Amino acid sequence: MGFLHSMICETDGIQAIAPVQWRSFDDMCAVYWHARATKGAGGYYISPDPRIMLFFDDISGRARMAEDAEAVTTAGRPMLQALYVPPGRPMWTRFSDNHKFSHLDLHFNRRWLQGKLAPVLGEAAANAAILRPVERQDVAPLIVIGHTLARELATPSRHPLFAESLAMSLISGLLDLSEEADLIELASGGLTPMQMRRLRAMVAESGGARLSTGVLAEAVGLSESWFTQAFKKTTGKTPLQWQQEQRIALVKELLLRGDLSIASVADRFGFADQAHLTRVFRQYEGTTPAAWRREQRLSL
């Protein structure tokens, strides 16, 4: 007998509308669903095995997800087309409208997946990759692979190795197989240097405008709750505190580069007025923007 998943699944208002296609392999199990969800339908899912969910149509406008039963209705995020769910990670879902959808579920033997990734990434980096959740929307190449695998489930035509190779293509295309140092950092529960660089670039590109935690989390492919914990572990600050520091750094750069008035600088970075900028700037630098600029120019 091949590998069978051990997922706990509780749904309400979701039902299959066609025979479920599934196939068990030595170290993975693949399931292809056509289903219907009614408005308000939802589900709870948790598995000791790593898994992939690949939706063949965009359900982000109709379905939301969270790692908490309460949050899924109040602060859940859109369910994107491709998800990698680490072992032991709970998921609650909720549909806001009636919807028909199809998706492919792949469940993997964790030891097998570790064995596939470790020779390429190293043991620590492979383990970190397996523990990191991923949510992506722009997955057109993966959809093509997913359809091919779904057809192979319905009508097997080749050796099982073909289906397993398609599954590995989905894994390598979906998981963020970053540099080893980055992945080792993930194993400790923090954000990687690459993710922090991406966040700094976002803040700079926004002109210092405040970005929501949800927007920051989405930019690095994490859920909001997971991101908040990882961010605090990495920086020792909340996303809001860190953004304020980044804004002040941008303010200082502009103060040195030109002769804009303090009021103009305040307006450029989204402060209410000059007094607001001065108050925040003093909290971080212990002096006013004008005094800081004078001191810096005198020291050059």
- Whether residue 124 contacts residue 180, with contact meaning beta carbons closer than 8 Å, is answered with yes
Which pLDDT value is given to residue 132?
84
Residue 300 sits in a domain whose CATH number is 1.10.10.60
The band of 62, judged by pLDDT with boundaries at 50, 70 and 90, is very high
C-alpha–C-alpha distance, residues 288 and 284, integer Å: 10
The band of 54, judged by pLDDT with boundaries at 50, 70 and 90, is very high
> Residue 132: inside a domain, yes or no?
yes
Which pLDDT value is given to residue 92?
93
Residue with tokens 């900028």: 277
pLDDT over threshold 80, residue 186: no
Task: Choose the final residue of a domain: 168, 187, 206.
Answer: 187
pLDDT over threshold 70, residue 91: yes
Between the CA of residue 141 and those of 135, 173, 211, 218, 236, what are the distances in Å?
15, 9, 30, 20, 38
> Residue 2: inside a domain, yes or no?
no
Based on the fold, state whether residues 212 and 256 are members of the same structural domain.
yes
> Residue 122: inside a domain, yes or no?
yes
C-alpha–C-alpha distance, residues 155 and 21, integer Å: 9
Based on the fold, state whether residues 41 and 143 are members of the same structural domain.
yes
Per residue in 2-43, pLDDT tens?
888 889 999 999 999 999 999 999 999 999 999 999 999 999
Based on the fold, state whether residues 57 and 133 are members of the same structural domain.
yes
DSSP line for 16-34: ESSPPEEEE-SSEEEEEEE
State which H helix or E strand residue 284 sits in: helix 274-285
Neighbours of 124 (CB within 10 A): 15
Based on the fold, state whether residues 242 and 94 are members of the same structural domain.
no
The band of 192, judged by pLDDT with boundaries at 50, 70 and 90, is confident
C-alpha–C-alpha distance, residues 71 and 79, integer Å: 14
Domain residue limits at 24: 8-187
Per residue in 205-221, pLDDT tens?
887 778 889 889 888 87
Which pLDDT value is given to residue 183?
47
Per residue in 281-291, pLDDT tens?
998 888 999 99
Residue 142 sits in a domain whose CATH number is 2.60.120.10
Which residues make beta-bridge pairs with 108? 28
Which pLDDT value is given to residue 298?
77
Q: How many domains is the chain built from?
A: 2
Task: Choose the final residue of a domain: 160, 187, 214.
Answer: 187
- Whether residue 265 contacts residue 272, with contact meaning beta carbons closer than 8 Å, is answered with no
Which pLDDT value is given to residue 276?
92
> Residue 3: inside a domain, yes or no?
no
